[in-house]
Structure 1
Amino acid sequence: MVSTPRILALAAAGSVLLAASACAPEPEPAPQPSASAACAKESLVTRTPGKLTIATDEPAHQPWFVDDEPDNGEGFESAVAYAVAEKLGYARADVVWTRVKFDTAIAPGPKNFDFDINQFSISDERKRAVDFSAPYYLVRQSVITLKSSKIAGRTSLADLRDAKLGAQVGTTSYQAITDLVKPTVEPQVYNSNDDAKKALQNGQIDGLVVDLPTAFSITSAEIDDAVIVGQLPQVGTPEAFGLLLDKDSPLTGCVSGAVGQLSGDGVLKQLEQQWLAQVAGAPELT
């Protein structure tokens, strides 16, 4: 039989142990790598260690690229690609370019590049086969006209109020006319952009509203005497371009983060102004 003093001593000792246990600090969890550390160059798993392989189509057209030479850093998408590479820690000499056709790039299956930049519109359907970064460009609507038109050279929305404008029916282009330009003349609608282009060439309308990539295509290769009057402010839900990566690529998060930083820093807007508004002759209409 244990004596009462012995019991009290054991109880006191237990109390001390419990108090010490309660006051003991919890073991700290093992440190986790930060997002910046995970996206450091030495942590990235690329096709070629120490290199970043970027793809685009062939030929690569202006104003997205200049002289069909993606590696010269000129043109909006070339400049964006190098800006993303720099954010990821890759010097210009560490960037390797390759050519991949548009349809091949968006098809399911392994890729021979780390990311592709080629005016890929982000869509849920495409996301089933490939990954996309955060958007690096939100497509703007624009006004094109003939060099001989009365609206050639106009610089503001107010300057277009008396113009007869046209667009394809049911499009954001038509919405831009009604919501932003608000012309005094009833806008014309067409079943297709081909019908609208014919109306422009025949003088039935003063200007045609299309998205900016389409405007570049029409004025550079489809209608010889067509020019871009300017870009309209954003309207509706804009089409967005993203960098394309292999499905479930380990690089997607870091590439997307780099694009987000460039957007937040105003770099993407600066490149857009430089290569699309100034060099390509598509000023903003305000």
Structure 2
Amino acid sequence: MMTYKKMLLAAAATLAFGTSAIAADKLKIGTEGAYPPFNLIDASGQVVGFDIDIAQALCAKMKTECEVVTSDWDGIIPALNSKKFDFIAASMSITDERKQAVDFTDAYYTNKLQFIAPKASTLKTDKASLKGKVIGAQRATIAGTWLEDNMADTVEVKLYDTQENAYLDLASGRVDGVLADKFVNWEWLKSAAGKDFEFKGDPVFDNDKIGMAVRKNDPLREKLNAALKEIVADGTYKKINDKYFPFSIY
């Protein structure tokens, strides 16, 4: 006969198993919500964008319901590791430093870094034209790191909590130029605020691989990778790409 203690242990095990099974049926996507066209909050308060559409397409392939949770960029990896969400879909560059804290999926697009500045500006990518300039970038990004590593002796680097704030200072003349992801810059240049600005020079870095982050050793990584292969193969990825860009970013 099962003792009372054993019954309690069995019930606890059943409850734990049931909770795990329920949790597996629903995942939380972590994103910033301030990085158009990849992730942003629309007029209705919904989080939308390329990152979100891709992540939801992966969830559909995994037959898993997913909800979106926003986080400040600076704290997004700690939030993942404290289990506030299950994976990050926020145009995050795959770097060796970040790999110490999280695991990444295969790249779901390839980014480039390129300067933008006023059309009348003589700013280019060489140090002579950049010398003494104030250049903005978002904090804790590849662009910010590239400036600090390569241009700290040439320009004044000004870092921002969001990309949108970097653009606000560019539009108001508080910085001479901005270095950011080419596709994010491309989106801003199409806006009314960006009409008097343009790309300057060629990309300074053109092989920035973007992945989704999961907690270390989480088997979710392989499920996401399998789903990514599926959406590329069946045309879902291209359909999402074409919704946002007239060129492929894969």
Q: TM-score, normalised by structure 1?
A: 0.51
1:84 is displaced (CA, Å) by 0.9
Check conservation: 1:166, 1:208, Cα contact below 8 A: no
Name the structure 2 match of 1:258: 227
Structure 1 residues 48 and 210 mapped into 2: Cα distance closer, same or farther (>3 Å)?
closer
Task: Give the Å deviation of 1:254.
Answer: 0.8
Matched, 1:211 2:181: yes
Question: Gaps (5+ residues) in structure 2?
Answer: 1-19, 128-141, 144-153, 159-166
Q: Which of 49, 55, 65 lines up with 1:75 in the alignment? A: 49
Work out the CA distance in 1 between the residues paired with 2:204 and 2:217: 32
Q: Could you say what secondary structure the match of 1:241 adopts? A: strand
Question: In 1, Cα distance between the equivalents of 2:82 and 2:21?
Answer: 13
1:257, distance to aligned residue in structure 2 (A): 2.0
Matched, 1:105 2:90: no
RMSD: 4.7
8 A Cα contact 1:115 1:245, kept in partner: yes
In structure 2, what is the Cα distance between the partners aligned to 1:227 and 1:84?
36
Aligned counterparts of 1:119 and 1:125: Cα–Cα separation in 2:
16
Aligned length: 194
TM-score when normalising by structure 2: 0.57
Segments of 5+ residues of structure 1 without an aligned counterpart are 1-44, 151-163, 174-189
Q: Which residue is 2:60 aligned to?
A: 86
Relative distance call for 1:166 and 1:235 in structure 2 (3 A) is: closer
2:25 corresponds in structure 1 to: 50
Tell me the distance in 1 between the aligned counterparts of 2:237 and 2:37. Answer: 15
Structure 2 letter corresponding to 1:115: F
Amino acid aligned to 1:96: E
Q: Distance in 1 between matches of 2:55 and 2:243?
A: 15
Residue aligned with 1:112, SS: coil
Partner of residue 166 from structure 1, selected from 113, 116, 124 = 124
Which one has a bigger Cα radius of gyration?
Answer: 1
The partner residue of 1:120 within 92, 104, 107 is 92
CA deviations on 1:32-76 (whole Å, 9 max, x unpaired) are: xxxxxxxxxxxxx6782421211112x433211353489957421
Give, in whole Å, the separation in 2 of the partners of 1:49 and 1:199. Answer: 44
Name the CA distance, whole Å, in 2 between partners of 1:247 and 1:70: 35
In 2, Cα distance between equivalents of 1:74 and 1:201: 27
The ranges of structure 1 where at least 4 consecutive aligned residues each deviate by more than 6 angstroms after the TM superposition are 197-202
Identical columns (%): 23
Larger RCO (alpha carbons 8 Å, 6+ apart)? 2
Give the superposition deviation at 1:272: 2.7
Answer whether contact 1:47 1:53 (CA < 8 A) is retained.
no
Q: Which is strand-richer, 1 or 2?
A: 2
Secondary structure of the residue that 1:166 maps to in structure 2? Answer: coil
1:215-240 CA distance string (max 9 Å, x none): 2586489x65445569x8x9975111
Provide the rounded CA distance (Å) in 1 between the counterparts of 2:43 and 2:21.
23
In 1: Cα distance, 2:55 partner to 2:44 partner: 9
